[in-house]
């Protein structure tokens, strides 16, 4: 296993879990989300330019700046 503990990295996941994901053949594991919305709803949200998000940070806050530096 790699030194990086990032669970998003397939190299850090158990072999069985990686095989199960591969067997889905690129199919989404969920049916919800932005991609499943009708195009009018997508356009409405996209036109907000991120303002529709729950917004974990106040713009310009120290926490936002720190998160931005971390990436």
pLDDT tens for each residue of 10-25: 788 888 888 888 887 7
Structure-model confidence comparison of residues 1 and 55, the more confident one = 55
Q: Which two tokens stand for residue 46?
A: 């996209």
Q: So what's the pLDDT on residue 42?
A: 86
Q: So what's the pLDDT on residue 2?
A: 46
Alpha-carbon Rg of the chain, whole angstroms? 18
Per residue in 48-67, pLDDT (tens digit) is 776 656 566 676 778 777 77
Q: Is the pTM of this model over 0.85?
A: no
Q: So what's the pLDDT on residue 11?
A: 80
């Amino acid at each position: 296993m790699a030194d990086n503990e990032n669970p998003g990295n397939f190299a850090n996941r158990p072999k069985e879990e990686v095989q199960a994901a591969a067997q889905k053949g690129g199919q989404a594991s969920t049916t919800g989300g932005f991609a499943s919305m009708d195009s009018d709803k997508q356009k409405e949200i996209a036109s907000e330019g991120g303002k529709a998000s729950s917004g974990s940070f106040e713009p310009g806050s120290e926490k936002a700046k720190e998160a931005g530096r971390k990436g």
